[in-house]
Amino acid sequence: MGAYKVVIIGAGLGGLSAAAYLAKAGLRPLVIEQTSFPGGRCYARKIDGVEYDIGAIYIGERAPRILQGVFGIDCAFKPYRIGIRTGSDFVSFPFDRQTLQELRRCKTSWVDILRFLIKVPMLFRSSYFDRYRSVGEVLDSLTEDKNIRRFWDVMFGVLGVSPYRLPSHYLGMGRSAIGTVVGNPVQLSGGNKQVADLLVDFIRQHGGQLVFGEKVEQIMLKDARACSVETNRGKYTADFVVSNADIKTTILTMTGRDIWDETYLQEVEALKKTLQVVNIFLTISPLQKFCPDFGVFFVAEEMAKGFQSLEEGRFPDGLMFILQVPSNLENSPSQCHRATLQFYHPRGSVTPEVLEQQVHRVMTEGLERLFPGLSDRVVNYTVFDPTRYEQEFGLKPFVYGLSPDLNYRRFPVQTPVSNLFCVGDSVQPERPSVPQAMESGILCAQEIIRQVF
Ligand SMILES: Cc1cc2nc3c(=O)[nH]c(=O)nc-3n(C[C@H](O)[C@H](O)[C@H](O)COP(=O)(O)OP(=O)(O)OC[C@H]3O[C@@H](n4cnc5c(N)ncnc54)[C@H](O)[C@@H]3O)c2cc1C
Q: State residue 315's pLDDT score.
A: 98
Average pLDDT, the chain: 91
Q: State whether the beta carbon of 103 lies less than 6 angstroms from ligand 1.
A: no
The distance from CA 237 to its chain's CA centroid, rounded to whole angstroms, is 32
Q: State residue 272's pLDDT score.
A: 85
Q: Which letter, b or e, does each residue of 373-402 get, where b requires 16 or more Cβ atoms within 10 Å of its Cβ?
A: ebbebbeeeebbbbeebeeebebebbbbbb
pLDDT band at 148 (very low <50, low <70, confident <90, very high): confident
Q: State residue 200's pLDDT score.
A: 98
Q: Where are the beta strands (DSSP E) in 157-231?
A: 186-188, 209-212, 216-222, 225-231
Cα–Cα distance, 74 to 202 (Å, whole number): 11
pLDDT in tens, 431-452: 668 888 999 999 999 999 999 9
- CATH architecture group of domain 3-74+190-270+409-452: 3-Layer(bba) Sandwich (3.50)
Q: State residue 67's pLDDT score.
A: 97
Q: Please provide the size of the chain in residues.
A: 453
Average pLDDT (265-269) is 92
Number of CB atoms found within 10 A of residue 292's CB: 9
Q: Which of 156, 229, 244 to mutate to test the pocket of ligand 1 (most atoms within 8 A of CB)?
A: 244
pLDDT in tens, 399-417: 877 765 645 677 899 999 9
Is the pLDDT higher at 4 or at 425? 4
Of the listed ranges 25-34, 174-183, 254-263, 329-338, the least confidently predicted one is 174-183
Q: How far is the CA of 245 from the centre of ligand 1 (A)?
A: 9
Residues with Cβ within 8 Å of 349's Cβ and at least 6 positions away in sequence, in order, are none
pLDDT band at 223 (very low <50, low <70, confident <90, very high): confident
Instruction: With a cut of 90, say whether residue 80 has pLDDT above it.
Output: yes
Cβ atoms 425, 224 nearer than 8 A:
no
Q: State whether the beta carbon of 325 lies less than 6 angstroms from ligand 1.
A: no
Would you list the domain boundaries of the chain? 3-74+190-270+409-452, 81-181, 275-393
Tell me the pTM.
0.94
Q: State residue 273's pLDDT score.
A: 86
> Vertex 218, ends 213 and 221: CA angle to 5°?
140
Cα–Cα distance, 449 to 453 (Å, whole number): 6
Considering only CA atoms, which residue is closest to atom 20 of ligand 1? Answer: 434
